[in-house]
């Protein structure tokens, strides 16, 4: 081997860099292998961060237009796409540059190139300057996922995935989003605010699957104006690239009979794990049919000194899950008794309004036959939401009927994502409705609605609109 390390981490996304930094902090000699020249993986380079830079811009544009109702009128927004792109790239650069500094400060050796196992204790990395073999005592696989492409989609620059959409090359007049999940709807929000008309097609019977239906209803009502056509229970069966546009054929009860023409088509039909692309078999690591790597609660694969974390081990494919798994794997590799034992993992759609949820939804409780007491606080009764001119939202908490302990919660409204963490803490702590209701929340804040929802469940907050 060319070099030898206590821990080699394969992939420098949120899971990988968190694992590498924690392992180094625990005194281990660490290498971090990444095929791209910047650290941060999907999340920092082509996911969470650039999408939020654009979504914040879009939300401000929408909010500015609403100020007309408050007596302040701005002109029609002038959009400089080059400058917006530069801003977004600057945000990404700051964060990925920060990671490089943090790696250096910890003396983590960053190895740039494509890595693959060549044995149970060796990874081979192919970089610009040739190949090298790295020996390791432990390895942490954090190679992430990539977006799924429809097999019949032709190669054309007007057909993109989320990475292509984030390049923001131009604003189409008419855009189709294939897949009504969070990523598709977030990107749709951005393009629609910049001027595109949207269609969305979804195979299932509702957008934003996984979220409580009541939350989604509020989002949908506020966003209807962006869409010409929301096609549910509809399949995309053909895509043809012609000179005058991308022509898409649909199948389903309410699907348009004729092919429809679009200027841009975004494929947002999910992500598939990279498990089958890293030579796992050479190390004896089992990989499931779909490319996910099975792990135990210490994030160990079937090979005890090789761990796996993040998108590559399963749903939910979220950065905050990857980070926590990364810490567990690094600590376990350092001989600690850490386990991944989170009760819940929150989800957020950073749309406008935001939709955030954690733990059980009402639908899931019903399916599990679990009896729950609901506390629902409409923001039409929140002084802060009214003052903001944004009182369309609500906060909903679910409690076990017998123990009164919180089992789930959902928030729709501005800043919902920033508030859902409190509900997650309450669930992890086993808080009950009195704990939450009697906690003094600052007034007037949107977060107050969490305390109020608990009081509604208790039956002590009764005079709601």
Choose between 319 and 333: whose C-beta lies nearer to ligand FAD: 319
327 is catalytic: no
Considering only residues 248 through 307, tell me which ones interact with ligand FAD, judged by CB under 6 A.
Answer: 274, 277-278
**Position 319 contacts ligand FAD (CB under 6 A):** yes
The two three-digit tokens of residue 261, written as one number: 């023409």
**Position 33 contacts ligand FAD (CB under 6 A):** yes
Give the range of 77-85, 137-145, 361-369, 428-436 binding ligand FAD by CB under 6 A: 137-145
> Contacting ligand FAD (CB under 6 A), which of 34, 199, 422, 455?
34
The two three-digit tokens of residue 218, written as one number: 């509020």
Choose between 110 and 201: whose C-beta lies nearer to ligand FAD: 110
**Position 183 contacts ligand FAD (CB under 6 A):** yes
**Position 43 contacts ligand FAD (CB under 6 A):** yes
Choose between 89 and 240: whose C-beta lies nearer to ligand FAD: 89
Cα distances from 13 to residues 45, 167, 327, in angstroms, run: 9, 19, 13
CB of 383 to ligand FAD, least distance (A): 29
**Position 47 contacts ligand FAD (CB under 6 A):** yes
Site string for ligand FAD, 158-177 (x = CB under 6 A): ----x---------------
Catalytic residue among 122, 225, 339, 443: 443
The two three-digit tokens of residue 399, written as one number: 């409690």
CB of 18 to ligand FAD, least distance (A): 8
- Residues whose CB falls within 8 Å of the CB of residue 339, separated by 6 or more in sequence, listed in order: 297, 298, 328
> Contacting ligand FAD (CB under 6 A), which of 124, 199, 311, 422?
311
Considering only residues 51 through 70, tell me which ones interact with ligand FAD, judged by CB under 6 A.
Answer: 51
The two three-digit tokens of residue 222, written as one number: 């506020």
CB of 277 to ligand FAD, least distance (A): 6
Choose between 8 and 452: whose C-beta lies nearer to ligand FAD: 8
**Position 110 contacts ligand FAD (CB under 6 A):** no
> Contacting ligand FAD (CB under 6 A), which of 200, 318, 358, 360?
318
Name the residue among 450, 268, 437, 228 with its Cα closest to residue 349.
268
Q: Exposed/middle/buried for 135, CB within 10 Å: 0-12, 13-18, 19+?
A: middle
Give the range of 66-74, 88-96, 141-149, 214-222 binding ligand FAD by CB under 6 A: 141-149
CB of 187 to ligand FAD, least distance (A): 7
**Position 16 contacts ligand FAD (CB under 6 A):** yes
Considering only residues 426 through 455, tell me which ones interact with ligand FAD, judged by CB under 6 A.
Answer: none
Which residues of this protein are in contact with ligand FAD, per CB under 6 A?
A: 10-16, 33-36, 41-43, 47-48, 51, 114-116, 142-145, 162, 183, 274, 277-278, 310-312, 317-320, 322, 350
Catalytic residues: 443
């Amino acid at each position: 081997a060319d070099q030898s390390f206590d821990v080699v981490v394969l992939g420098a996304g949120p899971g990988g860099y968190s694992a590498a930094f924690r392992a180094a902090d625990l005194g281990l000699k660490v290498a971090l292998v990444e095929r791209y020249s910047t650290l941060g993986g999907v999340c920092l380079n082509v996911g969470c961060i650039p999408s939020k830079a654009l979504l914040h811009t879009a939300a401000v544009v929408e909010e500015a237009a609403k100020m007309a109702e408050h007596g302040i009128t701005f002109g029609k927004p002038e959009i400089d796409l080059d400058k917006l792109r530069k801003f977004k790239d600057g945000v990404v650069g700051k964060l990925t540059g920060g990671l490089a500094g943090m790696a250096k400060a910890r003396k983590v050796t960053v190895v740039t190139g494509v890595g693959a196992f060549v044995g149970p204790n060796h990874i081979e990395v192919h970089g610009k300057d040739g190949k090298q073999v790295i020996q390791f005592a432990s390895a942490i696989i954090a190679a992430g996922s990539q977006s799924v492409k429809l097999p019949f989609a032709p190669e054309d620059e007007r057909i993109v995935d989320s990475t292509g959409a984030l390049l923001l090359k131009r604003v189409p007049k008419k855009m189709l989003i294939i897949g009504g999940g969070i990523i598709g709807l977030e990107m749709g929000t951005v393009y629609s605010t910049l001027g595109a008309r949207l269609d969305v097609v979804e195979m299932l019977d509702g957008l934003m699957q996984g979220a409580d239906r009541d939350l989604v209803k509020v989002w949908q009502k506020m966003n209807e104006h962006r869409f010409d056509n929301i096609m549910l229970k509809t399949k995309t069966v053909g895509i043809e690239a012609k000179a005058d546009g991308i022509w898409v054929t649909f199948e389903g009860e309410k699907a348009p009979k004729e092919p429809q023409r679009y200027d841009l088509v975004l494929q947002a039909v999910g992500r598939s794990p990279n498990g089958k692309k890293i030579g796992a078999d050479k190390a004896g690591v089992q990989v499931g049919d779909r490319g996910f790597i099975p792990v135990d609660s210490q994030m160990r694969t079937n090979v005890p000194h090789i761990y796996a974390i993040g998108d590559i081990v399963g749903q939910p494919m979220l950065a905050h899950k990857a980070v926590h798994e990364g810490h567990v794997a690094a600590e376990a590799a350092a001989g600690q008794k850490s386990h991944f034992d989170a009760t819940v993992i929150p989800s957020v759609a950073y749309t406008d309004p935001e939709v955030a949820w954690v733990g059980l939804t009402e639908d899931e409780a019903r399916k599990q036959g679990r009896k729950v007491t609901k506390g629902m606080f409409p923001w039409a009764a929140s002084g802060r939401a009214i003052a903001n001119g944004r009182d369309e939202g609500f906060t909903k908490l679910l409690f076990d009927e017998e123990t009164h302990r919180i089992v789930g919660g959902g928030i729709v409204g501005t800043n919902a994502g920033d508030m859902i963490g409190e509900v997650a803490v309450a669930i992890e702590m086993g808080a009950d409705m009195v704990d939450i209701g009697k906690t003094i929340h600052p007034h007037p804040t949107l977060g107050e609605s969490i305390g109020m929802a608990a009081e509604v469940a208790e039956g002590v907050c009764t005079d709601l609109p």
